[in-house]
Amino acid sequence: MNSLSTPPTKSTVEDLAYKHDDYDFRSTDPYAFTKYRIILKWLPHIDNLHVLNAGCGSGEMNALMARHNPSWNIDAIDVDEEGIQRARLLKEQLSLQNISITKSSIEDFQPNGLYDIIISNDVLEHIDDVDQAIGRLAAMLKPGGLLLVSVPALQWVFGYHDELLGHFRRYNRQFLAKQLAPYFDIQYMRYFGMLLVPIAFYYSRLRHQAYPLGSQRDKTSLAARIVNTMLLLEERIAFPLGTSVLAKAVRKRS
Q: Give the domain range for residue 194.
A: 16-251
CATH number, domain containing residue 61: 3.40.50.150
Residue 1 covered by a domain:
no
Whether 102 and 132 have beta carbons less than 8 Å apart is answered as no
13: confidence class by pLDDT, cuts 50, 70, 90: confident
pTM over 0.85: yes
Residue 217: the pLDDT is 62
Residue 160 covered by a domain:
yes
pLDDT at 232 over 60: yes
Q: What is the 3-state secondary structure (H, E, C) of the chain?
A: CCCCCCCCCCCCCCCHHHHHHHHHHHCCCHHHHHHHHHHHHCCCCCCCCEEEEECCCCCHHHHHHHHHCCCCEEEEEECCHHHHHHHHHHHHHCCCCCEEEEECCCCCCCCCCCEEEEEEECCHHHCCCHHHHHHHHHHCEEEEEEEEEEEEECHHHCCHHHHHHCCCCCECHHHHHHHHCCCEEEEEEEEECHHHHHHHHHHHHHCCCCCCCHHHHCCCCHHHHHHHHHHHHHHHCCCCCCCEEEEEEEECCC
Residue 214 covered by a domain:
yes
Whether 174 and 3 have beta carbons less than 8 Å apart is answered as yes
In tens, the pLDDT along 75-113 reads: 999 999 999 999 999 999 999 999 999 999 999 999 999
Of residues 197 and 11, the one with the higher pLDDT is 197
Residue 135 covered by a domain:
yes
In tens, the pLDDT along 130-172 reads: 999 999 999 999 999 999 999 999 999 999 999 999 999 999 9
pLDDT at 8 over 70: no
Residue 4 covered by a domain:
no
Residue 11 covered by a domain:
no
- The C-alpha atoms of residue 194 and residue 231 are separated, in whole angstroms, by 9
Strand 50-54 and strand 99-103: pairing? unpaired
pLDDT at 2 over 50: no
Look at the chain and report how many structural domains it folds into.
1
Residue 6 covered by a domain:
no
Residue 7 covered by a domain:
no
